[in-house]
Structure 1
Amino acid sequence: MKKLLFPLAIVLFFGFTKNPGTQLDPKDKEWIMKHLTESREHMKQVLDGLSDEQLDYKPDPTSWSIAENVEHLALTEKMFIESVHKSVADGPNPSLKDSLVFQDDQIMPMVADRSQKVKTSEPFEPSGQYGSTEEALAALLAIRQELMEYVETTEDDLRNRYAQLPFGTVDAAQLIVFIAGHMERHVLQMEEVIEDEDFPQM
């Protein structure tokens, strides 16, 4: 009987326990979801009640309007989520762990910092691809919802998946917070438009 019980115990142990380090840590998940949620809600708050005239207003010919910022976010967020899925599909690469260029708490402030201006590449320049701001916003919110649902349900070890950004290596958890920071950066840009002295009043 003992001979039968020992292999059964082995099966039960390995059948009902998960290998350590193969899932996203709950604290990491909470950290990611906090920034994804807060950046989305900040954007919705800024956009709430704006007229077409206000959405299309530009402080000067070289600036983006609020509507153009929304379109840019829709275009880039789609690309970013593809990068997340690619990093997962590429599989774990522990050798890159020492190549990370930022601590977690540096990601949001660094990306959202409006004192450093960065010109986007041509594919992500707003050009009216969505037809209207409402359509661009709907697409953006759908993409963000997809990403948030992925984070909530994934069993992928995002700390052991990596992506290369222009400034260096990030893990997939940091990449997702980078996405949140990128949205926050452009929401701050929208607020700068609203604060312009010639911004149309209701």
Structure 2
Amino acid sequence: MIDHKQATTMQMPSSISTRLQYQHKSLIELIDGISDEEFRQAIYPGKWSIFENIVHLETYQHIFIHRVRLMLDGSNPTFDRYTAEADPLFHEHCAKSSREVMQELLSTRKELAAGMLSFTENDLAKTGSHPVYGPMNIT
């Protein structure tokens, strides 16, 4: 995962660290009691189901981790726009069970949070550039 420690560790803003550690867990409460059929049903034709939205969140975490690593190791890398439709991992994970996807979401987020919460002030200031959002730092 992301392990990039240096001499001093700066506290990540609490609003960010709290969301990083806990926001994804609210999905469990939101989908509790929904049948797998309802979970996978697209409400509007051509739009994603609840399941596909969660697969998107789960698979994008891997893209995010990769981008953070590039920011830590590089000099202001430039990133392409992400689209789930062009991501083979998204399509692969759409074939998984709901339980597998949720487990992957939770375990990857736990790993992501643990790595990022140990970042130094220098790490958090590293930047990358996005074609829509422009230059941005890790926080």
**So what's the TM-score if we normalise by structure 1?**
0.54
1:61 Cα deviation (Å)?
Answer: 1.8
1:172 aligned onto 2:135: no
1:127 Cα deviation (Å)?
Answer: 2.9
Alignment root-mean-square deviation, CA:
2.8
Q: 1:126 to 1:85 in 2, by over 3 A?
A: closer
**Alignment partner, residue 145 of structure 1:** 110
**So what's the TM-score if we normalise by structure 2?**
0.75
1:82 aligned onto 2:48: no
- In the TM superposition, what whole-angstrom CA distance separates every residue of 1:94-150 from its partner, at most 9, and x where no partner exists? xxxxxxxxxxxxxxxxxxxxxxxx965521684353521211111111111011111
1:30 aligned onto 2:14: yes
Moved more, 153-162 or 75-84: 153-162
Q: Secondary structure at the match of 1:170?
A: strand
Aligned-residue identity in percent? 22
Whole-Å separation in 2 of the counterparts to 1:25 and 1:31: 14
Given residue 133 of structure 1, which amino acid in structure 2 is its aligned partner? S
**Alignment partner, residue 135 of structure 1:** 100
1:52 aligned onto 2:36: yes
Give 5+ residue unaligned stretches, structure 2: 1-5, 77-81
Whole-Å separation in 1 of the counterparts to 2:116 and 2:124: 12
1:163 aligned onto 2:128: yes
Greater share of helix:
1
> Which of the two has higher C-alpha Rg?
1
Whole-Å separation in 2 of the counterparts to 1:90 and 1:119: 23
Count of equivalent residues: 127
Q: Secondary structure at the match of 1:55?
A: helix
